[in-house]
Amino acid sequence: MSQPSPAPPVAPISRLPESLRALRHRNFRVYFFGQAVSILGSWVQQVAMAWLVYRLTGSSELLGVTAFCALAPQLFVGPLAGAWIDRHDKRRLLIGVEILLTIQAAVLALLTWFGWINPILIVCLSLLLGMLNSVETPLRQSLLRGMVGSRADLGNAVALNASLFNSGRFIGPPIAGLLVGLTSEAFCFLLNAISFGALIFSLIRLEVAATPRATGAVGHVFREGVRYAFESFPIRVVIIALISLNLTASAYAVLLPIFAKVVFGGDARTLGLLWGAAGCGALASTVFLATRRTTGHTTRAVVGGMGVSTVALATFALSSHFVPALFAMAALGFGISVTNVGANSVLQSIAPEHLRGRIISFFTATRFGFDALGGLAAGFVAAHFDAPHTLLGESLLLALATCWILLRRRKLVRAVDESYAANHSH
C-alpha cells in the first residue's frame, strides 16, 4: 500500500471569503478553472443534442431514449467503476478518460457536419458518452479531497465544483440556443471537443497527494462497498432520497423541447431560456450550500430541497404562460441542485477514505442512473398522454417520497453528524 504524500499546498490567498475557501488551495484552483471551460462546452453539447434529436425526428420517445443512453450506464457501470477507481492512480486514469470524451465529441461534430448523423448513430454515441461519464464522474469527484487536503474544506469544494456545473447550466443553454440558430449543432459539438483541452491541461498540472489503493479482486472490493453503504443508515436514506428525486423531478429535462415548441410555441432560443432559468436556480443553490458550515445544516438542506422541487415541478406542469414557467424552472433548478449537491457533500464527508471511490460511485449511479430511468419513462408516458400531465403525476410521486424522508429527518441529521465525527477523528 502506498504511503500518503504531504498535503497539497495552500496558497496564501487570505482575501477570499469563507464561501470560496476551497480556492485557497492551489490544486483546487488549477482544476476549478480548467473544469469551468469544460463544463460550459458540455452544456452547449447537451442542449444542441436535444434540439438535434427533436428537429430530426419530432419524437418524445427518442428524446427519452437518447437521455437514457447518456445516463443509464451510470446506474449499471458506475458502481463497478467505483471499485476499479479505488484500485488505480486516479489522476492518470482521469486524463485518459477526458481524452476519450474529446474524441467522442469530435466524432459527433464530424458526423453532424457532413449530414451523416441519424437516430441510430445518435443513440450509439449517447451510449458511449454515458459509458465514459460513468467512470469520469466518480473519478473526478473522488479527487476533490486530495485537491484541498482537508476534510473541513471538502464540503465547500463540493459546492464550488457544483457551482461550475450550474453556472454552465445557466450560461451554456442560452449560448447553445443562439449558436444553433446562427450556425449549427455540429459547431456546438466541436466547441465541446475543444473545451476538454482546458481540463486535460489542468489535470496534468495537479500535484495530488497519493492515497491508499484498495487491494483484491474488483468483485470483492465492490461487495465491500455495497455492504458498508447498506449497513450505514445515513448513506442508505440519502441514496433513497436521490433515487426519489431523480426518478421524478429531474425528468423535466427530457420534456423541455416539447414545452418549448408545443406548450409555449417557441424555438431553440425558448428551450435555451427554460434551461437557463433552471441553471440560474441551480447556481443560486450552490451559493447557498457553500455557506453551510456543518454536515447537519447540509443534511437539512437536502430534505428542504426535495420539498421545493415538489412544489416547483407541479407549478411548471400547470403553467400555460412563459414568464411564470421561467420562475418555476428557476425554483425547480434550485430544489434539485440543493438535494443532489447537498447529498454529494454529505456522502463525501462521511465516507471513509479507503471507500471514497465506491461511495461516490453509488452517488453518481443513483443521481444519474435514475435520472436516466425517469427520463425514459417520462418520454414514453408523454407520448401517450402529454408533457404537462406527465410532470404533474411525477410531482405527486415526489410529494409522497418527501413525506417519507421528513419523518426520518431528525434521525438522519443525528446519524450524519455522528458518522462525520467518527471519520474525522481518525
Domains and CATH numbers, the chain: 18-424 (1.20.1250.20)
The rounded percent of the chain whose pLDDT value lies above 70 is 91
Residue partners of 182: CB distance under 8 A and separation at least 6: none
pLDDT at 423: 66
The predicted model scores a pTM of 0.72
SS3 content of the chain, % helix, strand, coil (to 5): 85, 0, 15
Whole-number Å distance between alpha carbons of 254 and 274 = 12
CB distance 249 to 394 below 8 Å: yes
- Give residue 101's pLDDT band: very low, low, confident or very high (50, 70, 90): very high
On average, the pLDDT of the chain sits at 83
Distances in Å between the alpha carbon of 20 and those of 17, 39, 424? 5, 19, 22
> Which has the closest alpha carbon to 46: 120, 125, 100?
125
Q: Which range has highest mean pLDDT (54-58, 102-106, 142-146)?
A: 102-106
- Give residue 7's pLDDT band: very low, low, confident or very high (50, 70, 90): very low
pLDDT at 4: 45
Neighbouring C-beta atoms of residue 412, cutoff 10 Å:
24
Written as one string, the DSSP assignment of 153-202 is GHHHHHHHHHHHHHHHHHHHHHHHHHHHHHS-HHHHHHHHHHHHHHHHHH
Residue partners of 388: CB distance under 8 A and separation at least 6: 259, 263, 317, 318
What's the pLDDT tens digit per position in 315-351?
999 988 888 999 999 999 999 999 998 998 888 888 7
Whether the pLDDT of residue 387 is over 50: the answer is yes
pLDDT at 87: 72
CB distance 140 to 34 below 8 Å: no
> Which has the closest alpha carbon to 249: 239, 260, 241, 259?
241
Phi and psi, residue 408, nearest 5°: -110, 10
Phi and psi, residue 204, nearest 5°: -65, -35
Whole-number Å distance between alpha carbons of 291 and 309 = 21
Lowest mean pLDDT among 73-87, 184-198, 240-254, 369-383: 73-87
> CA angle, 131 as apex, 242 and 349 as ends, to 5°?
40
Instruction: Name the residue with higher pLDDT: 87 or 159.
Output: 159
Whether the pLDDT of residue 143 is over 90: the answer is no
Q: One-letter amino acid identity for 417? A: D
Record the cell numbers describing residue 36, joined without a space: 469551468
Whether the pLDDT of residue 98 is over 90: the answer is yes
Residue partners of 84: CB distance under 8 A and separation at least 6: 135, 218
CB distance 166 to 342 below 8 Å: no
pLDDT at 255: 86
Residue partners of 48: CB distance under 8 A and separation at least 6: 176, 179, 180, 185, 188, 189
Phi and psi, residue 4, nearest 5°: -65, 140
SS3 10: strand
Q: What is the mean pLDDT of residues 1-6?
A: 44
Q: What is the mean pLDDT of residues 287-303?
A: 83
Whether the pLDDT of residue 6 is over 50: the answer is no
- Give residue 37's pLDDT band: very low, low, confident or very high (50, 70, 90): very high
pLDDT at 10: 46
What's the pLDDT tens digit per position in 256-270?
888 888 888 887 778
Whole-number Å distance between alpha carbons of 90 and 356 = 12
